[in-house]
Amino acid sequence: DIQLTQSPSSLSASVGDRVTITCQASQDISNYLNWYQQRPGKAPKLLIYDVSNLETGVPSRFSGSGSGTDFTFTISSLQPEDIATYYCQQYGTFGPGTKVDIK
Amino acid sequence: EVQLLESGGGLVQPGGSLRLSCVASGFTFRNYVMTWVRQPPGKGLEWVSAISGYGGATYYADSVKGRFTISKDNSKNTLFLQMNSLRADDTAVYYCAKDTGHIVAVTGPTGADCWGQGTLVTVSS
């Protein structure tokens, strides 16, 4: 089974900062990687699918990149509403999540 | 607007059973793979099960195989999850979600682009 690891497990940044989260797969997963945002007490929301495609209605400050086993999720300018836990996912596996807070 | 509304959660004793339902609207239900995802309190997400549009193919996580059964009624736009032999570690919020794909892969769901609000299942004596 494929394992996904995320780093960091949590981070604290200031409004306007650039935030980067990495997701590493235990084997080559080509371009099949999605990213979700889960705000406290809410259901997850799909932000990015197939590595770099922005879901409809998602702000352009969110982006994704990578291939093979190493993937990156970026928030170009952190906003207060971005406080959430972010998960990567490839088929039947979710990463452990990265909790993002405002400093 | 796509909407998913789960129901059926609650408190159940270990070894007991529970049936979750999810009513869908806003899309052609029979055309999409539907899934269940759960989240134990304070923990991460886990795919539980998935079912193809017409119900002919299913996927189960190893942790629930043989105990949970997924089904759907396309005439009522409703997804179900029958949970038997429940254990304490099944305690979680259970989300109904619409898959981004149209087939059930052996490796699990493709992704989920619409989620319900979740229903809490607590297994405790």
Residue with tokens 């949590």: A10
Res B109: pLDDT: 87
Residue with tokens 């084997």: A27
- The answer to whether residues A72 and A80 touch, using CB atoms and an 8 Å cutoff, is no
Nearest CA-CA distance, residue A47 and chain B, Å: 9
pLDDT (tens place) for every residue of chain A, 103 residues total: 899 999 999 999 999 999 999 999 999 988 889 999 999 999 999 999 999 999 999 999 999 999 999 999 999 999 999 999 999 999 889 999 999 999 9
**Separation between Cα atoms, residue A77 and residue A67, nearest integer Å:** 24
Amino acid at B25: S
Percent of chain B with pLDDT over 90: 90
Q: What is the mean pLDDT of residues B118-124?
A: 98
**Separation between Cα atoms, residue B113 and residue B22, nearest integer Å:** 15
Q: Which position has the higher pLDDT, A30 or B46? A: B46
Would you call B107 exposed, middle or buried from its count of C-beta atoms within 10 A (0-12, 13-18, 19+)?
middle
- The answer to whether residues A102 and A10 touch, using CB atoms and an 8 Å cutoff, is no
Best mutation site among A89, A90, A98, A99 for testing chain B: the one with the most B CBs within 10 Å? A89
Find the range with the poorest average confidence among A43-47, B55-59, B81-85. B55-59
